[in-house]
Amino acid sequence: MNRNQDECEALERIFRDLSKHTNRQLAEIWESLGDKEISQHPAFQTDVRIAECTIALLSVSDGERKEKTAYTQILAWIFQHGYEQAPIRSFLNHLYDAGQFPFPPHYKFSEIEAEAGHVLSDRSGKQIDVWITGLARKNIKDVPIKWLIVVEVKVDTLESLSQLGCYEKEATKWATASEKAGDKYIDPIFVCLTRAGKAAKWGKQNWWPITFEQICGLIWDSIKDREDAPSFCLAGYFITAVLAKVCEWPIPLPRSIVPSHLNRYSLLSFFGKSRCSHEE
């Protein structure tokens, strides 16, 4: 019997225990819930959210067909959930230093929402890669000022003629709605994220060019001393994958750490399966 055969058998035993153990853990959560829905339990929700994100991240390393979708989803996730706003603050500071964003680092930012694949309201079905909104104020008592950053990501496709124009129209609609509502706001900011920091060709607005390497650097700087943060390893995956796959840095993607075929639904399905077997 060869070594791997023994190891397969040993792993098989562990995996059976894993299944039992997961069921037991879920059973405990279930009992603590009473009549509530299990999916409402914060512990379970956290796991599922983390699972979704981890898997989406790993799918970047998998050469998924729509790599860009995975990158933008993860980027949006990191901007929205990254440890104590560190990654998004780092990004905003970069834009401030570049003269693109009017609020300096000591401002307070709240209600930050980063959405990947923001669908245009014109029913064209087109989507903006990352749509980031938030509020800024100098002091807590100040009236908050709304801001919007539109990020267009280009990984391996060319910019089409009318694409950026549509996005600019959508941003104008946001500004008009803010005005009608009587909110204070600043003009939308446009960012074009590419491999080489290429300037946008067809947009009427000023699309601030930024490279993937810059984004990775900004994220890394903001989290590198926070290894305990839940977003730390997720951001690490993102940076590794982007540098290796988009920037083509000669980084060997470690097979042993990043299973190259991991599917985003795999772990969710595992949790689902465990839940079902408990319910039976």
Partner 1 sequence: MKNNESGVLLGKELSFYAKYPQEMDIAYVAQVDTHYRKLFSFLDKKQFQEMEKMVANVGDAAAEQARELTDEIVAGLLILKGIKAENINRTNYWEAGLRIRKTATSANINFECRVRIETVGEQLVAGIWIWIKGSKSADLMKVLKRSIKKLPEQPRNFDGSSVLVAAIDLREAVEQHRSKQSIVDELTAPLFQLDKDQWHQLILMAD
- Enumerate residues 157-186 that contact partner 1 by CB under 8 A: 157
**DSSP code of residue 39:** G
- Enumerate residues 6-35 that contact partner 1 by CB under 8 A: 7-8, 10-12, 14-15, 17-19, 21-22, 25
Residue number with CB closer to partner 1 (95 or 258)? 258
Question: What CA–CA distances, in Å, run from 190 to 120, 177, 193?
Answer: 16, 18, 10
CB-based contacts of 190, cutoff 8 Å, min separation 6: 149, 150, 152, 164, 167, 168, 171, 200, 203, 205, 206, 207, 208
Residue number with CB closer to partner 1 (54 or 214)? 54
Q: Where are the beta strands (DSSP E) in 138-261?
A: 145-154, 184-185, 189-194, 207-211
Q: Which of 27, 39, 45, 63 touches partner 1 by CB under 8 A?
A: 63
Count Cβ atoms below 10 Å from residue 58 Cβ, excluding itself: 25
Residue number with CB closer to partner 1 (17 or 111)? 17
Grouping H, G, I as helix, E, B as strand and the rest as coil, residue 126 is coil
Q: Is 46 in the site for partner 1 (CB under 8 A)?
A: yes
> What DSSP assignment string belongs to 50-92?
HHHHHHHHHHHTTT-TTHHHHHHHHHHHHHHHSGGGHHHHHHH
The whole-angstrom separation of Cα 2 and Cα 87 is: 48
- Enumerate residues 190-229 that contact partner 1 by CB under 8 A: none
Q: Is 65 in the site for partner 1 (CB under 8 A)?
A: yes
The whole-angstrom separation of Cα 20 and Cα 69 is: 35
Q: Is 66 in the site for partner 1 (CB under 8 A)?
A: yes
Q: Which of 29, 50, 175, 186 touches partner 1 by CB under 8 A?
A: 50
Nearest distance from residue 234's CB to partner 1, in Å?
8
Q: Which of 61, 73, 133, 222 touches partner 1 by CB under 8 A?
A: 61
| Site residues for partner 1 per CB under 8 A | 3-5, 7-8, 10-12, 14-15, 17-19, 21-22, 25, 46-47, 50, 54, 58, 61-66, 69, 157, 230, 233, 236, 245, 253, 255-267, 269-270, 273
